[in-house]
Structures are given as structure tokens and as C-alpha cells.
Amino acid sequence: MFNTIKIYFLLFLTYSFLGWCMEVCCSIFERKKFVNRGFLLGPYCPIYGCGAILITLLLKGFTNNPIILFIMAILLCGILEYLTSFFMEKIFHLRWWDYSKKKFNINGRVCLDTIIPFGVLGMVIIYISNPFLLDKVKLIPDNILTIIFYVLIIIFVIDNFISLATILGIRNTTSRINKENREDNTEEITKKVREILLGKSFTQRRLLNAYPKLQAIKIKVKEKIDKTKDEIEKQKEILDRKVTIAKKQIDRKIKKATKRQKKE
């Protein structure tokens, strides 16, 4: 069991590193410069490692059906990307990527351009890279594998702590700017946050470079109050209409009763 954990952790880091390499290459192509992509300081993007492990564990039963494997890889990785964006936004009050301007997107969190390659990568993982990597890892002696595992997991955990502290620092700055500038729009708040963070630590500047589309989430206090007031007004209007209708019905009944009494 422990050997299996070690093997899958190495597999996770390998795919995280390969994902980081792919992100860096795309960044060089788009921005004409090297950028250390990802949330963490080290050369790895855990979302790719998580996706690869999920594909390995959940989709190995579709090996005999490439079409189903392709579709399932798209769905699985698309859900992973969407949930990652959603929870990162809710936890840290920041939007790390936004596909709103691209066609066929879902709430700007995933889009067709990004999920289709997931299907291709899923097939590459199952048919090519997994068999190769697992064969190579199994050749490593147990004692060496254990040493590699402990060294890498210690580095990975330390990196997570440092990066988490960095992101929390960014969140605190965003929250403070939000409270001080409630009348500003999202773009203005984001600009102010970036200006402050660019003068802070190296790790925070690195995250800004890694995610140039990083956007602050505006605390919409005024909008929520206005929405609540509008809802109250609507409910009041509905209640007034019901009261008016009820009064008319009562008046009609009284008139009918009065007419009967006169006839009698």
C-alpha cells in the first residue's frame, strides 16, 4: 500500500511538472518571456497532476474504448478546472483566470478551447505516458524510492505553506482595498491591489506575473443592500395588491348581504 502511495505521488509530481512546462511554453509563445506559472514556487502545477491521477484511477476501465475515454477525460478535467476556479475564488476572493471573452465558456471558468485538449491529454496519459512512467518507477529500488518520496514531499509541503501564506496576504490586501473603496468598480479595485502588491514580496510579485488576468472579487455590499430593498418593495407591492383584492371581495359580499336583507 505504501509503495503504491509513493508511486502515485511521483506520478502526480511528474505530471505536475509536465503541466508546468506546457504552461511556461504557452506563456513564452504568448508573452515572449519566461514566466514561472502556477500557484506554487516550484516548477509544478498541481492541477495537472490531480487531473492525471484522476484519469489514471477513474478512467482506466475505458482503455478499450478510445472515444468514451476521450469524452470522459474532457468531462473529468473540465469539472476539475471549474471546481478549482470556483473554490479558489470563494476562499481567496480572487479570480485567477477568466475565459468570459472566449466562445463556449461556462461562467468564464472553463471553455471549449481548454477542455478539448484535456481529452487528447487523457488518451496520451492512458496509452503512452502511464505505461512508460510506471515501468520506469518500478525499476527504482525501494530504499531509493522511499528517500526520493520523503525529500520531494517535504519540499512540496513547505512550498504549499509558503504559497498559501502568499495568497492569504493577497486576499487580505484585496479585502482591505474592497472595504476602503466600496464605490469603486472591480477593475479599479484590481488595479489598486496590483499596485500595492508590486511593491511587496517577491512571491506576491511572482503570482501577479504568473496570473496577469488575476482579478479582485468586489465585495458588493451596496448592491446586496439595494437588491434586498428592491425585493422588499416587490413583496410590499404584492401584499398591497392582495389586500386591495381582499377588500374588494369583502365589499362585494357586504353589498350582496345588504341587498338580501332589504329584499327580506
- Can you give the pLDDT at residue 151? 94
Label residue 71 by pLDDT band (50, 70, 90).
Answer: very high
- Can you give the pLDDT at residue 171? 72
Residues composing the chain: 264
For the chain, percent of residues with pLDDT exceeding 90: 22
Label residue 189 by pLDDT band (50, 70, 90).
Answer: low
- Can you give the pLDDT at residue 175? 67
- Distance between CA atoms of 61 and 150, rounded to whole angstroms? 31
Residue 219 has pLDDT above 90, yes or no: no
Label residue 186 by pLDDT band (50, 70, 90).
Answer: low
Label residue 98 by pLDDT band (50, 70, 90).
Answer: confident
- Can you give the pLDDT at residue 220? 45
- Distance between CA atoms of 154 and 45, rounded to whole angstroms? 17
- Distance between CA atoms of 177 and 249, rounded to whole angstroms? 56
CA nearest 15: which of 102, 96, 110, 80? 80
Mean pLDDT over the full length of the chain: 78
Q: What is the mean pLDDT of residues 109-118?
A: 86
Residue 214 has pLDDT above 70, yes or no: no
Look at 241 and 262; give whichever has higher pLDDT.
241
CA nearest 94: which of 33, 166, 159? 166
Which tens digits make up the pLDDT trace of 119-164?
A: 999 999 999 999 999 888 888 898 999 999 999 999 999 988 888 8
Residue 170 has pLDDT above 50, yes or no: yes
